[in-house]
Amino acid sequence: MRDIFTPEPKRIAPVHSAPGFVKGSISVRGRKATVVDVRARFQLPVRGDAKLGMGVTIEHRGELFTLLVDRVCDIVCVPVHAPEKISNQNMSSPDAHWREMTTGVYTNIDQKDVAVLDVGRLLEPS
């Protein structure tokens, strides 16, 4: 993770011929980042308000991506060991599409379950 910020919609430039979950591109600290709407990628309904939520900028394979999420609640450190594979016992009835975008779940991190996104799968065209 590189940055967390509230993106300004007018600063996102459209990207033609991009998958529907790509909102466009934005400059982050002088570098171009592709803006990915995680809500659209997970096939969730559009937010009820006009806000974009929060932008979380990550680097994947040398490229920057800003993931639009509803909110950032906390930043936690996770153990070095691998997360448990996701199963119906790990999470309370996650939908199959959601499960395919994650690699596993850490249980009892600060009294919560923390799912681990598979960034490569998240960024793949559908």
Domain chopping of the chain, boundaries = 3-69, 74-126
20-35 per-position pLDDT tens digit: 999 999 999 999 999 9
Rounded to whole angstroms, the Cα distance separating 123 from 119 reads 6
Q: Say yes or no to pLDDT of 61 above 90.
A: yes
pLDDT confidence of 87, banded at 50, 70, 90? low
Alpha helix segments (H runs only) across the chain: 38-41, 96-100, 119-123
94-125 per-position pLDDT tens digit: 567 677 788 888 876 777 777 888 899 999 87
CATH label, 3-69, candidates 2.60.110.10, 3.40.50.740, 3.40.50.2300, 2.40.50.180: 2.40.50.180
What sign does the dihedral 97-100-106-109 (CA atoms) show?
negative
